[in-house]
Structure 1
């Protein structure tokens, strides 16, 4: 076997692999014998099928499989030995001029295109700057959070008349353009949350209703053309919801109201554990502390996003774009040319960041330990559980859940990549200048939404 490499340019190469019968014949013979032992064919006892018979019946398909296996093994070994940093995967170059008999005597030649990672340097210093926002809780955000928590532990009542933030359990029926009920149209009974109504005029019309009241409204306008929301209420597909133009008749079946829990010791004990919090002031302080902890995470995500953009803009290098586009098409059969062109820039930017990550990890000898992966997975699971209950899960039980979670290879890889990114961000933060700036949560949200 002979393997050679031809450099097309700094980012592209072609690897040529020549395979002779002596390279593949031992593998083919072995595969034929193994198939003969396992074959169950009429007229032969199990395990007694002659190898010559298997070769005559299945020889070419076995030869093709073994050639492919040999190519894959040889190419991967060559890339590893030559320490080639390959982007994507090698793509076979088709040559219509070459024809083979597949008669166990052919000399084969296969060519593969490689996209190569660029060589580059990255040098962060204190001259590089990013803003680290210190987010402060504003009164509006604090009041909203306290209200939601109190409602979560409150009780359901059924008032006679609807008010702001109530839920209408109602029948929704599609209407024709003339206002009559659309025969065989869409209908469903669903819970309509008034706090999710986007149009203020429609929301006002739904306040003050009582059981059996009927009104007509524009469901698309009510939910600001939110197709998933409309689809969920009507139990239809999102595509159908997006194209829906009809008004709907709403008939109130019941008015539901979630009353806020009293700020008493029973409520505090449910929320934080017995005797941990005993006054309203302590309760407010704990909620403020939890909000600020969440806001630290928001600030950190913003800082990471800014560092990501800073890094990608700071390092200038080219990618083997045409090769990568062919590779994306080859590995995603349903990908259209339009989708490829529309999404390629984002793909290329993320790939650049990955290369920057890898270089920082390599140059600074940063090691990712299992303990780091385990602890981050534990944190992420704890965050998920707290979405459903403020009370923390016992540490031992959380650890067991984490072990189970990481046994899934996809989960483990996901957390590993997150740890890797966090270590790189930490390194960059230790080198550049971070300008700290206080900001209210409402102003921070406006800042993020403007980006």
Structure 2
């Protein structure tokens, strides 16, 4: 067998593979014998079918399979031995029109296009500068969070008259254009939370109501045409909710109010454990710390996005774009030309980031260890379980679930890539200059809108 390389340019090459009978005959003979041992054909005992008979019946298909296997093995070995770093996989040249007899005596020549990985030239230093945001909670967010926590631990009352933030337990009946109840229309007894009503005029019409009061409700106006909220309120699907044009009759059955819990020691102990917080100032400090911790995760994600964009913009290397487009089409049969055109820029950017990350990992001897992958997987599972159960798992249970979780190869690879990315981000953050800038969560939200 002979493999030669015909370089097109720095990013593209053609591999020519010449295969002679001496290269494939031993593999084909072995495959025919193996097939004969397993074949079950009329007139022959199992395992006793003559190889010549198998060759006569299935020889050409076996030859094709073995040539393909030989090509695959040879290509992979050659690329590994020659230390050729490729992007995608080699593609058979489509302009090759040669035909073969497949008669066990052919000399074959196959040509493959190969996209080559570029030399990655991107270095980071203290001259590279990015902003790292330090988010401080604003007074309105702190007040809202405090209110929600106090209400969560408060008690339910039933005032005579509704006020802002109350919940109306009410009957909603769909109306006809003339204002009468629509026969066979939507009728639902449900809870109308006034804090979710976005239109000020509608909300005003729902304040001051008492049991058995009746008002007309423009439901699309009340919820800003939010189909998801309307669907949840009326127990219908979102498509139906979006198409609703009718108004509704709202009949109050009860007014519910969730009173806020007192800021006392019993409340503090329920939230933070006995004796850990003893004053209102300590409570506020804890809530502030919790909020700013969550907000800082948002700031960290933004910093990672900024590093990604900065690094891929700084990278001064090209990709074999035309080859990669052909490869994407070849490996994704349903990918349309329009989808390829729209999505290729993002694909190329992600590929650049992968090449940059690999260079940083390689040049700096960064290792990704199993215990690091295990720790991140464990964190992810712990967060998932806490979403559904207030009672956390024991360390032993969490460890057992993590072991099972990582037995899935696809999952394990995903966590590995996540740890790898975090290490790359940490490295870049350690060498560039990060200018810390304080901002409020409201300002930060506007910045990322």
What is the TM-score with the length of structure 1 in the denominator? 0.84
Matches within 5 A, 1:344-355: 344-355=344-355
SS of the aligned residue for 1:22 comes to helix
1:271, 1:391 within 8 Å by CA — same for their partners in 2? no
Q: 1:323 to 1:212 in 2, by over 3 A?
A: farther
Q: Deviations over 1:293-336 (max 9, x none)?
A: 22222221122222222212212222111222222222222222
1:109 aligns with 2:105: no
SS of the aligned residue for 2:125 comes to coil
Q: Could you say what the CA RMSD is over the residues aligned between the two structures, in angstroms?
A: 3.5
Which structure would you say has the larger Rg? Answer: 2
Supply the distance in 2 between the matched residues of 1:68 and 1:99 (Cα, whole angstroms).
15
Q: 1:131 to 1:60 in 2, by over 3 A?
A: same
Equivalence for 2:18: 18
Give, in angstroms, the shift of residue 43 of structure 1: 3.9
Supply the distance in 2 between the matched residues of 1:441 and 1:400 (Cα, whole angstroms).
38
1:338 aligns with 2:338: yes
Between Structure 1 and Structure 2, how many residues are aligned? 449
Mind listing any 5+ residue stretches in structure 1 that lack a counterpart? none
Q: 1:34 to 1:298 in 2, by over 3 A?
A: same
Supply the distance in 2 between the matched residues of 1:49 and 1:384 (Cα, whole angstroms).
58
Equivalence for 1:70: 70
SS of the aligned residue for 1:127 comes to coil
1:327 aligns with 2:327: yes
SS of the aligned residue for 1:90 comes to strand
Q: 1:200 to 1:95 in 2, by over 3 A?
A: same
Q: 1:36 to 1:180 in 2, by over 3 A?
A: farther
Q: 1:420 to 1:52 in 2, by over 3 A?
A: same
Q: 1:25 to 1:290 in 2, by over 3 A?
A: same
Supply the distance in 2 between the matched residues of 1:117 and 1:347 (Cα, whole angstroms).
15
1:14, 1:112 within 8 Å by CA — same for their partners in 2? yes
Equivalence for 1:98: 98
Equivalence for 2:296: 296
Q: 1:281 to 1:440 in 2, by over 3 A?
A: same
Q: 1:441 to 1:226 in 2, by over 3 A?
A: same
Supply the distance in 2 between the matched residues of 1:155 and 1:50 (Cα, whole angstroms).
86
Equivalence for 2:88: 88
Give, in angstroms, the shift of residue 103 of structure 1: 2.9
Give, in angstroms, the shift of residue 203 of structure 1: 4.3
Q: Deviations over 1:324-366 (max 9, x none)?
A: 2222222222222222212221221121111111111111111
SS of the aligned residue for 1:368 comes to coil
Mind listing any 5+ residue stretches in structure 2 that lack a counterpart? none
